[in-house]
Amino acid sequence: MKVLITAGPTREKLDAVRFLTNRSTGKMGYALAEAARDAGHTVTLVSGPVTLPFPAGIELIFVESAAEMAEAVKERAAQMELIIMCAAVADYRPKQIHLGKLKKQPGNFLLELERTEDILSTLGASKVAGQILVGFAAETDDLLTNAAQKLKAKNLDWICANDVSRSDIGFGSDENAVTLLGQDSRRYGIGPDTKRAVAEAILEIVTDSGR
Ligand code: PMT
């Protein structure tokens, strides 16, 4: 299959030296890309800024901001049979980017943020027939309820509910555990296990069980 996977955080510039980001390291997304490659798929990985080694045998596209990730994904989405959005994409970005370094002023500083594009919602709204669309839901509260709501709202086939309130799984850790929820109410508990093993299990279910 032609597979597109996103990984890592995005960086939303504030000025010449500062940006907003999050704790994603890219480990989960890279594990998915490598597992998909090893299963014989043709893989494109759209990656935010990470410090992981370049995986061999995978088309790798580096982006920085949510807008750049949106452009890279949307440009390629129509040709893909499976898309897995594992990246932790910023929901907001500074409304104004300052060209130089912002000077410190007396008193507080109020930062205005604006919404970024929800890439997965865009993909869900224009889904190509037969395409399998998989999202992740990073949640600290009401894991399954929130994940199920995202599955429906974004018109996905599957969503991986990921509890990110724990330090042993989720952001940055070498292991993960997810509940994979299907549009047809199927539900699979995966892990805790290495991110590679979790990736293999996710791929097996979403590619074998169809949409
Ligand atoms: O990178 P690691 O350190 O290994 O950590 C892995 C992980 C915790 C980042 C990963 O397993 C994970 O949960 N990724 C999803 C993070 C996230 O942004 O979740 P969300 O619930 O905020 O977003 C829901 C879905 O919409 C995600 O598939 C996300 O990629 C997508 N999204 C979100 C915002 C946006 N503007 N566009 C999007 O497409």
* Domain range annotation of the chain: 2-91+113-209
Which amino acid would we find at residue 56? A
Stretch (H or E) spanning 27: helix 27-38
| Closest C-alpha residue for ligand 1 atom 13 | 138
From 86, 119, 132, 155, mutation site for ligand 1 pocket: most ligand atoms within 8 A of C-beta = 86
* Band (29; pLDDT cuts 50, 70, 90): very high
Encode pLDDT of 107-141 as tens digits.
Answer: 999 999 999 999 999 999 999 999 999 999 999 99
Q: What does the block give as tokens for 77?
A: 């989405």
Q: Whose CA is nearest to atom 31 of ligand 1?
A: 120
Give the right CATH number for 2-91+113-209 from 3.90.320.10, 3.40.190.10, 3.40.50.10300, 2.40.50.140.
Answer: 3.40.50.10300
Active site residue 22: yes
Measured distance CA(38)–CA(42) in Å, rounded: 10
Q: How far apart are the first and last CA of the chain?
A: 14
pTM over 0.85: yes
Q: What is the CA(137)–ligand 1 centre distance, in A?
A: 6
Which of 22, 146, 155, 176 does the annotation list as catalytic? 22
pLDDT at residue 209 in the model: 58
| pLDDT at position 146 | 98
What is the reported pLDDT for 91?
98
Distance 108 CA to ligand 1 centre (A): 31
